[in-house]
Amino acid sequence: MKKLLKYILIFLIINFGALGIGNWLMDNGPKTEWYINLNQAPWTPPGWVFGAAWTTIMVCFSVYMAYLYKLKPSSKVLGLFSIQFILNVMWGYIFFNQHLVGIGFTTILILTFVVAVFATSFRNDLKYKTLLIMPYLIWLCIATSLNGYILLNN
């Protein structure tokens, strides 16, 4: 149990660090005139939802990763996690800072795929704990649809 708590703490630090880096790189993107003036999807949630969603997602994902890494401390797990980390951090910079909506869409599609690989590849090992990654996967599907809408309607 002590090892699991240590892993949870490590993944919390890494995952919230990723959010912090991503937020810094997007440079106030959601509040910029560029983003505000885009044709956005009618189902775009209010701004406060994003913070609440990402906090919940990263807590759940950190616990998921701690269980997974404790069970399978492998290069495959760390490799997928690293790819997820990089894509998650990069998306905000690509989309909000650089305004590269198409490349952002591709990035978030790949990120969604990577998180889906986590959910499917280790479900037999983690069983019901796989539910911990579902908020991330569901949110990415929503975020991908928002990015896709902007891509198609601007």
Domains of the chain from N-terminus onward:
2-153 (1.20.1260.100)
Backbone angles phi, psi at 39, to 5 degrees: -75, 110
DSSP result, 70-117: HH---HHHHHHHHHHHHHHHHHHIIIIIT--HHHHHHHHHHHHHHHHH
Alpha-carbon span 56 to 13, nearest angstrom: 14
Res. 1 pLDDT band, cuts 50 70 90: confident
Percent of the chain with pLDDT over 90: 94
Whether the CB-CB separation of 132 and 64 falls below 8 Å is answered with: yes
- Tell me the average pLDDT across 95-108: 97
Cβ-based neighbour number of residue 21 at 10 Å: 16
What is the chain's mean pLDDT, rounded?
Answer: 96
Its pTM stands at 0.94
